[in-house]
Amino acid sequence: MKDAILRALDPAEFALNSTCFEVLDQRTVVVTNWNWDYPLAHRFQRRALELVQETPQLRILICCSHPNVLTHGRGLQRPRKGEILKLVDFDSKAHPNLPYPLHQIERGGGLTFHHPGQFIFYPILKLNPSSLSLSRMIDEIFDFTIDVLASWGLEGLHHQNKLLGLWHGDQKLASMGIAIEKLSTFHGMALNLRENSEMIRALSALNPCGLTAETYTAVEKLMELTPTAIEKFRHEFLQRIKDEWK
């Protein structure tokens, strides 16, 4: 399966090589690339999405990070009936001199940020209402993340908040933004493993996801991490997917 995927996707076009690809199970290929240029990664998502739409049983799971970059989705989370969400939308005209490149993309949500200290997970897969619906997929991505971090000793994480994300108290550890085309998903979760104080300072006037920059925290601020934490997290996170997403 790996060889067929390599032939279909032409890794060199996206600054990848064969070592970036691994087979997780008989229907799932994982692509890993740290500090991946955002436009290249986005183009790869689009090509992987086409391949999954052509071969619905295939899953392509991307684990990566990006250099400092901003992305803006289709719009902020909308409140449910009777609910008030105090979110501040991003207006690019009010910020003509942004500190980092900005990309307008297809996912839901407002302005968000990426940096090399994140673990980013993009699931490219065909949804199935009976086995893996969108709501179940999102819940389980968060649950797998909580399980891994709890096994490291970090407690008190939850995603039962009126604002979508992974939270520790009133601080946000991970953002989620999904796009769907022909029942297939792309984009996904960005988990702040490492702290990036430079980016938080730069975002102080930009309201990522409609929130103040100070709302965001990182696993590194809540517990000590080893130098290989991002690879360790990737391995343990994917093991949970392998066990649960049959």
Alpha carbon 13 to its chain's center: 22
Give the side-chain half-sphere CA count within 13 A for 73.
22
Task: Give burial (CB, 10 Å; 0-12/13-18/19+) of 161.
Answer: exposed
The span from the CA of 194 to the CA of 218, in Å, is 6
DSSP 55: S
Is 20 catalytic? The answer is no
Active-site position among 20, 63, 64, 209: 209
Q: Tokens 């999954």 identify what position?
A: 52
What are the beta bridge partners of residue 21? 31
Q: Which residues are catalytic?
A: 209
